Amino acid sequence: MSTTTIDTGKVQATLIQAPIPGGAGLVEITSGRKTATYTIAEIGHCDAGFSAYRLLEQGRPADECYDVEIGPCGYRRCDCRGHEAHGHCKHAETVRALITRGALPDPAPVADDDLDPFAHSNADIPW
């Protein structure tokens, strides 16, 4: 089984098992002296290039999960306390790095064909 390891300088992480569609995978995250294993599952994505993943540290109750959102132009968000306080955290860093490495699916960017220049035309106004 192949694993993907990333190292952002602050965070080291190993994707032990990539999440299957509709299911969960496993990722080990090391930050400072602490190493923890999380289940990771995709909880949504959209054509505009945003994707969301839910992480839950093993041994923790399910309501202590963290939802991470990654988007274009460096956008990232996590609902853990660290991210709320500092604007970054090991969860969001890990998910972004794994997407960049191609270890997690990256939602397709909007294709030009999807932008209909006549969608808001006045063609149907009866005058």
Residues at the contact surface with Zn ion, assessed by CB under 5 A: 66, 78, 80, 83, 89, 91
Instruction: Tell me whether residue 98 or residue 113 sits nearer to Zn ion (CB atom).
Output: 98
For the bound state, the minimum distance from the C-beta of residue 19 to Zn ion, rounded and expressed in Å, comes to: 17
Cβ burial 14-27 (10 Å sphere, 16+ → b, else e): bbbebbeeeebbbb
Measured torsion, CA atoms of residues 28, 31, 32, 35, in degrees rounded to the nearest 10: -20
State the nearest-atom distance from the C-beta of 23 to Zn ion, in Å: 22
State in angstroms the smallest separation of the CB of 2 from Zn ion. 26
Q: Which residues pair with 52 in a beta bridge?
A: 44, 69
In the complex with Zn ion, the residue whose CB is nearer, 66 or 107, is 66
Nearer CB in complex with Zn ion: 47/64: 64
- The CA distance from 63 to 79, in Å, is 12
Distance CA 36, CA 67 (A): 16
Identify which of residues 16 and 80 has a Cβ nearer to Zn ion in the complex: 80
User: In the bound complex, what is the minimum distance in angstroms from residue 104's beta carbon to Zn ion?
Assistant: 16
Residue that has been written with the tokens 């106004």 in this structure:
125
